[in-house]
Amino acid sequence: MERTLSDIAQLIGGEVIGNGSVIIRSFAGIEDAQEGDITFLANPKYAGFLSQTRASAIIVDRTVELKSKPGIRVDNPSLAFVKVVEAFSGSQKKHFQGIHPKAVIDPSVKLGKNVSIGACAVIEKGTVIGDNTVIYPNVYIAEACQIGSDTVIYANVSIRERTYIGNRVIIHNGAVIGSDGFGFVTVNGRHQKIPQVGYVVIEDDVEIGANTTVDRARFDRTIIGAGTKIDNLVQIAHNVKIGKNCIIVAQTGISGSTVIGNNVILAGQCGVVGHISIGDNVIVMARSGVSKDIPSGQVVWGAPAQPAEEEKKVRVLYKNLPKLFDTVREIQKQIQKIKK
């Protein structure tokens, strides 16, 4: 497929800079692009590649000046590049269709139109699945679950009883939804299990990464709000409530009964204690430990997490501790000399 730069600009709603008749044949990242490719710059970290890339054209933010080669200015280069990739690669992934004869489906299960179910998937009694949903091989769906339309559940996912999953949800391989929360009471030195009788609600347009776990509530519900995106290897404990459009990055763990607002970002390897609240639009930077409530709008970092600017000062001082120690030791020597 070939398109002119002007054609692509029209597709993504951008402004052509330079020669709009340049022919584009494919797409690539800014470091790997070759002649005939279009690429993009969204992260200023890679600005040095603007003059080095071999790409024939570059999609950039409207504030960026292009001098070395043609390009397109847009409001959101990442989103624009997604549209370009879809245009050149034949849009989105095509899923298989139909119900495999080796799928095990209880007679009471209600299937919508055009539902696809792979080999060795098991769907228990009373479950309802909406139109156009795709269930890949070896998925287990327990009894009395509700799954919406246009949802995709990849191989080896386990969904426990009474789980509610909305529309256009994507759950990647190996995720476990609705497993028991970690609840025990110690009696006479032995840990007695506390029944976990709640359930999980996953709202519309959520994406859950591979090998992530979302525990069912002890009572009531564990909730993942609409539009939230969860990376691989995330642990969400019982009764956690996560708001809308949050980003939760790999290896983050959220303890029980914590409430997280809307548009929150938890970066990689964050740990969050239980029974606290995190307000709207909070950013928790990577490898932070959150041990108390965070008001809306804050950016925090560290363990324990504190305002990011304070943590930066602490880290600068920490790096200088060896030098400071040497200085203090020298001062002590001078004091001893004075005393003598």
Encode pLDDT of 174-224 as tens digits.
999 999 999 999 999 999 999 999 999 999 999 999 999 999 999 999 999
Confidence of residue 93 (pLDDT cuts 50, 70, 90): confident
Q: What pTM was estimated for this model as a whole?
A: 0.87
Residue 36 near residue 71, CB atoms below 8 Å: no
What angle do the packed helices 308-319 and 321-339 form, to 10 degrees? 60
CA torsion through residues 78, 83, 88, 94, sign: positive
**Catalytic residue IDs:** 238
The residue among 161, 116, 163 whose CA lies nearest residue 143 is: 161
Say yes or no to pLDDT of 97 above 90.
yes
How far is CA 33 from its chain centroid? 27
**Domain at 157-304, CATH from 3.40.640.10, 2.160.10.10, 3.40.50.720, 3.30.70.100:** 2.160.10.10
Class for domain 3-89, per CATH? Answer: alpha beta
Average pLDDT over residues 25-51: 92
pLDDT at 92: 62
Domain boundary assignment for the chain: 3-89, 157-304
**Cα end-to-end distance, the chain, whole Å:** 87
pLDDT at 51: 87
Say yes or no to pLDDT of 241 above 70.
yes
The residue among 246, 234, 236, 233 whose CA lies nearest residue 215 is: 236
Confidence of residue 24 (pLDDT cuts 50, 70, 90): very high
Say yes or no to pLDDT of 309 above 80.
yes
DSSP-assigned states of every residue in 279-316: -TT-EE-TT-EE-S-B-TT-EEETTTTEEHHHHHHHHH
Q: Which DSSP state fits 262? A: T
Quick one: which H or E segment has residue 126? none
pLDDT at 91: 58
Q: What does pLDDT average to over the chain?
A: 95
Rounded Cα distance between 217 and 319, Å, is 43
Percent of residues, the chain, with pLDDT higher than 70: 99
Rounded Cα distance between 289 and 272, Å, is 6
CA torsion through residues 48, 50, 54, 60, sign: positive
pLDDT at 48: 87
Residue 54, token pair as written in the block: 């071999």
Quick one: which H or E segment has residue 223? strand 221-224
How far is CA 110 from its chain centroid? 31
- Determine the 3-state secondary structure of 153 from DSSP: strand
Average pLDDT over residues 74-100: 89
